[in-house]
Amino acid sequence: MGNLLVKFWDVNHGHATYIRSPNGRHIVIDLGNGELFGNEKFSPLLHLKNHYGVEQLDYCIITHPHLDHIDDILNLNKLSPKVLTRPNHIPERDLLNGVRLSELPKIKEYLRINKKYNREIINGSYDNPADPEFWGGLVITHFHPLECSTSNLNNQSIVTVLEYAKIKIVIPGDNEAPSWNELLRDCNFTKKVADADIYLASHHGRQSGYHQDVMKLINPRLTIVSDSKYHENSNIDRYRKYSRGWDVYKDNVEVRRFTLSTYNDGVITVNAGHNQNTGKSYLQVDI
């Protein structure tokens, strides 16, 4: 069996992560996009299609439908995901509240695909994302806050936990204190996220997404912040305090890091699996 590959794309103030399962299946979490040098637009979805040869996504997860998490959605039909997970209980009025005219086409496309993907996944079916065998041993678990007001979309964000070869990665959306407090009451959640290896900071590392009890529980080796340099904030020091540290490769040189950020480090690549010689788990992070 192969390794687990995770890429945290540099998409400015937004989020987009690509996951290739150990058996070569393709997953994306969120649909942010960014800019390359010269203000050229960078679409992670088109990059997967044109440079990785991905013709179809096996799974797409949208944590919540704020524009910085669905900015690339007009390209989603080019990769036509087999399965879509999103918080589909949010009333349309809350999705449209405060949306600017320029943003409307992307929100309407989200509403369209939200209605399109309406078939329930049956246990035992070929495309069941909850079945680790389908993903070559990769375990994917989601936690959905449901008690918070839908007027704040951040608190509807889905939290995804990836587990493979005893390596654990926790990827939330823009969860704030109310949804974190709700999830902390769920013993399945607390058990699943505890002592992770990598944590993507909620709400791009902002104060509103920081929760000290959550950080103590997750206790990551590395915390990653997906954000633009123009939104850099001092909360990175708080994340560093509750991160255990890991040796990261930069230009083939090992550097001890506690936090990484897309605005300083660019695309962040994670590989995890079993060492063929020793059988032990490994985690390699490259920037």
Q: What is the pLDDT of residues 196-252, one digit of tens each?
A: 999 999 999 999 999 999 999 999 999 999 998 776 666 889 999 999 999 999 999
Mean pLDDT rounded to a whole number for the chain: 94
Pick the residue with more confidence: 15 or 120?
A: 15
Pick the residue with more confidence: 58 or 98?
A: 58
Give CA–CA dist 14/9, Å, rounded: 9
The pLDDT of residue 214 is 98
Pairing mode of beta strands 246-250, 259-261: unpaired
Which residue do the tokens 């069941």 mark? 128
The pLDDT of residue 235 is 82
- Cβ-Cβ contacts under 8 Å for 112 (sequence gap 6 or more): none
Judge whether residue 276 has pLDDT over 90.
Answer: no
Q: What are phi and psi for residue 82, nearest 5 degrees?
A: -70, -40
Record the tokens describing residue 40, joined without a space: 């050229």
Domains belonging to the chain, first-starting first, are 4-286 (3.60.15.10)
Closest CA to 111 of 92, 84, 97: 92
- pLDDT above 70 as % of the chain: 94
Q: Report residue 49 CA to chain centroid gap.
A: 19
Give the bridge partners for 144, in sequence order.
Answer: none
Using CA atoms of 193, 199, 201, 202 in order, give the dihedral in degrees to the nearest 10.
-30
Task: Read off the pLDDT of residues 62-93 as tens digits, 9 standing for 90 and up.
Answer: 999 999 999 999 999 999 999 999 999 999 99
The pLDDT of residue 38 is 58
The pLDDT of residue 269 is 98
- Alpha-helical (H) ranges within 26-162 are 44-51, 67-70, 92-96, 104-116
Record the tokens describing residue 122, joined without a space: 């049956």
Q: Is 73 helix (H, G, I), strand (E, B) or coil?
A: helix
Rounded to an integer, the average pLDDT of 1-17 is 94
Contact 179, 154 (CB under 8 A): yes
Pairing mode of beta strands 26-29, 59-61: parallel
Judge whether residue 124 has pLDDT over 60.
Answer: no
The pLDDT of residue 215 is 98
The pLDDT of residue 31 is 98
